Amino acid sequence: MNRSDRVPNWTVLPSLSLRGIGTPLVEHLQFYLDRLAWVTGFSRATMAHHLLGRRWADAAIEVDGGFTAKVGERVAKLEVLTGQTSLRYGTLWALSRVLSINSNLYGKRQRRWCPVCYDRWGDGDYEPLIWSIDLLTCCPIHDCRMEHACYRCGSFQRNSHDMDRRRVCSTCRRSLGHAANSFRPSPFLIWVDRQIEALVEYCATPRGEPLPWEAYTKFVQGVRLVAAGHGKQCGRLNGQIMRLEKHVRKRLLRPTLRSLINLCAVQGISLGDMLNAPWESSCPRLFDDWIGFRYWPLPSVMKAKHIYAATRVVQEFMEMGPLYIPPASLLIRSLGVPAAAVLDANPVSAELYQKKYFKQGNRHELKVLGIGYRTALTYLHRPNIEDQFVIDMICDATRLNRSFSMRVVDGARKAMSVLSAERLSCYFAGLGDRDAVEWVVDKWSQLAYIPKSAFTFEEET
Ligand SMILES: [Zn+2]
Ligand SMILES: [Zn+2]
């Protein structure tokens, strides 16, 4: 027997293997750690304190917020201690050179889970990495909505490391698992879920090196060329892509998961294509199937909320029956969202709005009325101002007659009331973060210029 044969196959920590490697349902490394703690009988804090140094006790391997160098060191250490070389595939390590560390759509470290998975929990079950990606709408197994709050009492859940307590509400102590019907979001969000599955599968598949930054740079450059080829058709979007490409070239901006998905949607490819063949998938397609997006198809939460609020402003303003209607872009200017994006979210009232607006005069008259409206807003924002004074000011500035000036003041007063801070905070509070994104995506998906077949996907056979 030679010497090497006598070396015991021994590791500091039990050599548990990560489950689901190579699949979209790979085990989340954070859950693996809880399992390890459970098997050894140590608490997570004790395990970290004795084996990995004090500091690890308060910092878990947070992969939800991206994969930092610090996380990399901890994962490497854990691989040595367990003798497992594949633990990194339970994190976003494969995208650590590309993805932004702010990859969580909602920016909150809230736990999310599938209620049906929890309800049917068995001995061999584990929490997959994909649950930590909050862009995911539905459970990949049960097609029901992912949950982030107790469905009975509505409380958010802390990140409990106790394997059994994780499935019980920390406030009302009832089970977080329950039967749930399958849920079908808009086709675009179903498509987004499929892209997230492809992304996690990519991360779960053993590879020597993470995806290099250059692959992403090349992809963005290709997308910019394709978009430029469509010129005016996608003016605003084109500008966004050009700005993005500039930032990427200077390495100023790492993409969030949302940006990656948006780029793939605009390019009309899957995220799997992008990750596996970034350069080829960024080239102009053999058949030009530009979908004709006018904005990033998946808005951020803040943008979605602003678009929703602006839609409410337009709607309520119309319901007040103002005697003058300003251009939509002027009405919602303070909300900082493009009027086209807002009007696209509600095409029926948008059409009505535009019709009424253009009825008020010819091009020149509309322009003068617009100047009158701006003048009215300038004065009406001052305290204790009389309408008569404002009307005089409009007459002076625009040479509109008094009756038209009165109408303009009426429009401006009503616009100010629908845009008041109290009303706006009501609109913002009226829709949750996730609901706002779903609402906008759903509205935009109904637009005529997106072919219905664009986001169908092949069912697996
Ligand atoms: Zn499930
Ligand atoms: Zn509860």
Model pLDDT for residues 366-399, shown as the tens digit of each residue: 999 999 999 999 898 888 888 888 888 888 888 8
Burial string for 3-36 (b: 16+ CB within 10 Å, else e) reads eeeeeeeeeebeebebbbeebbbbbbbbbbbbbb
**Backbone angles phi and psi of 198, in degrees to 5:** -65, -40
Residue 34 C-alpha to ligand 2 middle, in angstroms?
22
* Mean pLDDT of the chain, nearest integer: 82
Residue 139 C-alpha to ligand 1 middle, in angstroms?
5
Residue 199 C-alpha to ligand 1 middle, in angstroms?
18
- The ligand with the least distance to the CA atom of 125 is 1
Specify the residue for token string 């609402």. Answer: 439
Burial of residue 202 (CB within 10 Å: 0-12, 13-18, 19+) is buried
Give me Rg for the CA atoms of the chain: 27
Residue 455 C-alpha to ligand 1 middle, in angstroms?
23
Residue 86 C-alpha to ligand 1 middle, in angstroms?
25
CB-CB contact of 85 with 79 (8 Å): yes
DSSP state of 52: I
CA distance 326 to 415: 9
- The ligand with the least distance to the CA atom of 112 is 1
Residue range 144-162: mean pLDDT, rounded: 88
- The ligand with the least distance to the CA atom of 177 is 1
| Longest Cα separation, the chain | 108
Write down the pTM of the prediction: 0.82
Strand partners, 171: none
Q: What is the three-class DSSP state of 53?
A: coil
- The ligand with the least distance to the CA atom of 130 is 1
Q: Give the contacts of 455 (CB within 8 A, at least 6 positions apart).
A: 187, 188, 190, 191, 445
Residue 264 C-alpha to ligand 1 middle, in angstroms?
26
What is the percent of the chain with per-residue pLDDT over 90, rounded to a whole number?
Answer: 32
Residue 154 C-alpha to ligand 1 middle, in angstroms?
19
Tens of pLDDT along 330-368?
Answer: 999 888 888 888 887 888 888 889 899 999 989 999 999
CA distance 141 to 181: 12
CB-CB contact of 211 with 30 (8 Å): no
Is the pLDDT assigned to residue 83 strictly greater than 80?
yes
Residue 143 C-alpha to ligand 1 middle, in angstroms?
7
